[in-house]
């Protein structure tokens, strides 16, 4: 989720029109129930509300207290914000007697206001406390984790979540560094990583992958993504849309593989006497894979890595074949 601050309290939401269009909030569906799993600063939620009918309903989720404060400024009886992870979606919907939804939007990752606020500890570009929690009221901070995690675990996290080839060296340097003084600020961690990484990627700070990895681990981002995909699909009405915007390959790989698994035609045992009409059908239609336009990337460079995937829940016995296109 990259929302670019213009000045303070303003933002530029990635794939704003495309994502809301992909939810297909038209006709009778305009009075359905929709979920914005990552409210952020509310760009997508506000656009969804513009398209909802008078009986429509939007349930949004966010772990960030600043996002919750922004959401509480929206005065609309059709809207409700939940201060929790989107991985609690099924439980939250059940508590509200909602048995089906017509669309779920997940705008993953981290927002620009979070990155640009040094006190949150997400960025190595300015010095601040090494926190990195999306929800500062729960869990352990990055500094607390680095103070106690063993070298093997730190290396595994940096390698798997950061796809960092110098993970072993970085982990050794962090453990050595904390024996001298606690690694408690973003500048400290960035300096340790810079000294451990011998060759640098052109145009990329050597701490980039390590900061990404620790943030993903601290916030359980990939685990919660896997949970919410299952929950969203199970809650989806027929012809309901699942729209997911990812910003790095680890997220996009999970989304791509999940949607592909639901869209795959089952392969029965050829030795069994099964008629074609009786074969199980795909549960999901792959509607689109959308990238930001050149104009959007030029206006908001942080959108350049975004990938949006759209799937539609199919009726039982549907013969609709997957179609890939770009939503204009």
- The answer to whether the annotation marks 36 as part of a ligand binding site is no
- The answer to whether the annotation marks 107 as part of a ligand binding site is yes
**Total number of residues shown for the chain:** 328
- The answer to whether the annotation marks 86 as part of a ligand binding site is yes
3-state SS assignment for residue 105: strand
HEC sequence for 131-152? CCCCCCCCCCCHHHHHHHCCHH
State the Cα–Cα distance between residues 135 and 26, nearest whole angstrom: 34
Q: For residue 120, what are the contacts with CB-CB under 8 A and spacing of at least 6?
A: 114, 128, 131, 132, 136
Q: List the helix and strand counts (H, then E) for the chain.
A: 13, 9
- The answer to whether the annotation marks 205 as part of a ligand binding site is no
| H-run or E-run covering 50 | helix 43-51
3-state SS assignment for residue 178: helix
C-alpha to C-alpha distances, 160 to 109, 166, 294, nearest whole angstrom: 17, 11, 31
- The answer to whether the annotation marks 43 as part of a ligand binding site is yes
Binding-site residues for S-adenosyl-L-methionine: 42-44, 62, 86, 107, 114
């Amino acid at each position: 989720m990259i929302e670019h601050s213009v000045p303070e309290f303003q933002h530029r939401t990635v794939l704003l029109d495309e994502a809301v269009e992909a939810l297909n909030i038209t006709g009778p569906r305009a009075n359905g129930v929709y979920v914005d799993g990552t409210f952020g600063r509310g760009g997508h939620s506000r656009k969804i509300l513009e398209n909802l009918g008078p009986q429509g309903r939007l349930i949004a989720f966010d772990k960030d207290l600043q996002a919750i404060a922004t959401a509480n400024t929206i005065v609309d009886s059709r809207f409700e914000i939940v201060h929790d992870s989107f991985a609690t979606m099924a439980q939250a919907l059940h508590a509200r007697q909602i048995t089906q939804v017509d669309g779920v939007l997940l705008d993953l990752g981290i927002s620009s206001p979070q990155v640009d606020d040094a006190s949150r500890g997400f960025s190595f570009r300015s010095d601040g406390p090494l926190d990195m929690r999306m929800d500062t009221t729960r869990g352990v901070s990055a500094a607390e984790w680095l103070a106690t995690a063993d070298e093997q675990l730190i290396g595994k996290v940096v390698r798997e979540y950061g796809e960092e080839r110098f993970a072993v060296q970085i982990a050794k340097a962090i453990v050595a560094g904390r024996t001298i003084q606690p690694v408690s600020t973003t500048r400290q961690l960035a300096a340790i990583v810079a000294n451990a990484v011998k060759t640098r990627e052109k145009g990329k700070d050597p701490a980039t992958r390590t900061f990404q990895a620790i943030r993903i681990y601290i916030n359980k981002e990939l685990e919660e993504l896997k949970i919410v995909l299952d929950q969203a699909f199970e809650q989806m009405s027929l012809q309901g849309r699942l729209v997911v915007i990812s910003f790095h390959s680890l997220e996009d790989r999970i989304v791509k593989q999940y949607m592909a698994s639901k869209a795959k035609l089952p392969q029965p045992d050829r030795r069994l006497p099964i008629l074609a009409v009786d074969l199980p059908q795909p549960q999901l239609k792959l509607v689109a894979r959308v990238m930001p336009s050149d104009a959007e990337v030029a206006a908001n460079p942080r959108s350049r890595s975004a990938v949006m995937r759209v799937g539609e829940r199919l009726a039982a016995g549907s013969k609709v074949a997957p179609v890939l296109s770009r939503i204009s």
